[in-house]
Amino acid sequence: MRLHSSSLHGSLRDPVLGSIGFLNEVMSRYPEAISFAPGAPHPDTLENIDTEWYVGRFIDYLVQTGRSPEQARRLLLEYGPSRGIINGIVADALRRDHGIDAPANTLVMTVGAQEAMLLVLRALFRSGEGVLAVANPCFVGIVGAARLLDIDVIPVDEMDVGIDLDGLEQTCRSSREDGRPVRALYVAPDFSNPGAARMSLGRRRRLLDLAEREGFLVIEDNAYGFTAAAGAELPPLKALDTARSVVHIGTFAKVAFPGARVGYVIADQPIGSSGGGTLLADELAAVKSMVTVNTSPLCQAVIGGMLLEHGGSVIELSRRKSELYQRNLTCLVDALDHHLGDGSHPGIRWNRPCGGFFVRVHLPVPVDAALLEVSAAKYGVLWTPMRQFYLGRAGDHQLRLSCSYLDPERIEEGVRRLTAFLSEEIECRSDSGNSD
C-alpha cells in the first residue's frame, strides 16, 4: 500500500523534526571539516568507562541493601518497574549536590531527557486546552515533542540574562484573555541550548513567583548546569520551589555518557484535593509503561554504579568534564575575540556565555543551508544555523558554535577557517546587498 503524506500526522512535515538529521547528513558529506555543529560530549570524557565494573558496583550496592546476589542479578535482566531502579541514588545525589529535596517516589527514570519531555507534555496537556510557552530560541526537542502531541507552542523572547519575564507575564495575560491560558513554561535557566542564557538568582525567584501567581508549571531542563565554573554555581529552580510549581528534568548524557540513554524527571505535584497520595510522578510512570515500558535496568545500573563510585555525587562525577568544557568555551571565545574582534568585520558579533557548550554569532546576512554548504565545501568548517531553534524569523541572521566536541587546537584552527569564510563570503554578500 502506498501512503500519501497528507494522511500522516502533520508534525512529520515540520522542519524541526528533520533538523538533527540534516546536520548529521552534512557532517557525513564533509568528514574532514572542523565541526562546531554537534552539542555532544568530548570524546576524551568517554574513555576508560568500564561499564562492567560499574554494573558490579551497583550489584554490590543492591546486596548491601538487602537483596541476594541472585535477586540483584535478575533485577538487571528483567523488565523492571516503569518508575526506575536507581531513583534513591539519584534523589540522594540531587539533595546532596543541589539542595533538591525530592523523595525517591517523586522521580521517574527515563530514556534520556527527551522521553521525560514527551511524558510530561502528554500528562499535562488535554486536547486543545492551554498552550506551552517556551523560551525563544528553544531546544528543538521540546518543540518537536509538542508538535507530535498537537500542543500549541507560544514563544517568549530569551535574552542573555534569561527569559523575558515581563514578556512572559504579558503572554500569560493575553493567552488567558484568549481562553487558552499558559499551562506550562519550558525553560533552561543554566546555559540554555542554543541561546546559552543564564538566569540570576533574583530572576529565578521572580519566575517562580510569576508561575505561582499565574498558575502555570515550569518545566526546568538542567542539562548544562554542571558546566558552571567552580564557585559560580546557582541553585536549580527546583531547589527554590516551595509551591511545587517546577517539574525538573535532568539527564546523564553529559555528566556520564550519552549512550546509556538515562534521564530523569522530578514530578512531586499532588494530583487532586482528596489527599490520597497520588503524585504527577505516578501518572508519568503510567504513561511511560505505554511508551517504553521501562528504562533499561542495565543502563540504569551503569549510571547508578558511576554515581556510587564517585561518592554518590553528580558534582564529583562531572568535575573533570566541567573543567574541560570551561577550558573549551574560553578557547572559543578567546579565538573569536582574537580573529574577529579587531573591528574589521562590521555587523558580526557574538555573545560571551560563562558556561554551557554554545556561542551564538550574529551575521549581517541570512544564515541558511546554502551558506552552510559553502562554509563546509570551500572552507572546511561546519556550524549550526540558528533559525531552526526559533519560532519565527528572529534567528535568520545567526549561527551557533558548539565548543564541546573539539580540542583547543581544533577550536583555534576552526575559528581561523570561520574567519576566512566570514571575511570572504559574508563581506561579499553584504556588499552585493544580499542582506535581507
Q: pLDDT digit of tens for each residue in the chain (436 aa)?
A: 888 888 888 888 877 777 767 777 877 888 899 999 989 999 999 998 999 999 999 999 999 999 999 999 999 999 999 999 999 999 999 999 999 999 999 999 999 999 999 999 999 998 778 999 999 999 999 999 999 999 999 999 999 999 999 999 999 999 999 999 999 999 999 999 999 999 999 999 999 999 999 999 999 999 999 999 988 999 999 999 999 999 999 999 999 999 999 999 999 999 987 656 799 999 999 999 999 999 999 999 999 999 999 999 999 999 999 999 999 999 999 999 999 988 778 889 999 999 999 999 999 999 998 999 999 999 999 999 999 899 988 889 999 999 999 999 999 999 999 999 999 887 666 555 554 4
Which domain CATH number covers 180? 3.40.640.10
Instruction: Give the CA diameter of the chain.
Output: 75
Same domain for 184 and 232, yes or no, is yes
CA distance 148 to 118: 9
Same domain for 202 and 351, yes or no, is no
Same domain for 180 and 299, yes or no, is yes
pLDDT of residue 8: 85
Cis omega (within 30 of 0) for bond into 137? yes
Q: How many domains, in total, are found in the chain?
A: 2
pLDDT of residue 104: 97
Tell me how far the alpha carbon of residue 92 is from its chain's centroid: 22
Same domain for 27 and 149, yes or no, is no
Among 264, 281, 316, the domain-final residue is 316
Range of the domain at 136: 51-316
Same domain for 152 and 291, yes or no, is yes
pLDDT of residue 435: 44
pLDDT of residue 2: 86
pLDDT of residue 274: 62
In-domain check, residue 434: no
How many CB atoms within 10 Å of residue 330?
Answer: 15
CA distance 237 to 277: 24
Give this prediction's pTM. Answer: 0.94
Among 265, 286, 316, the domain-final residue is 316
Q: Which residues contact 1 (CB under 8 A, 6 or more apart)?
A: none
Does residue 422 contact residue 340 with C-beta atoms inside 8 Å? yes
Among 268, 295, 316, the domain-final residue is 316
Same domain for 278 and 179, yes or no, is yes
Same domain for 292 and 391, yes or no, is no
CA distance 288 to 373: 40
Cis omega (within 30 of 0) for bond into 194? yes
CA distance 28 to 135: 31
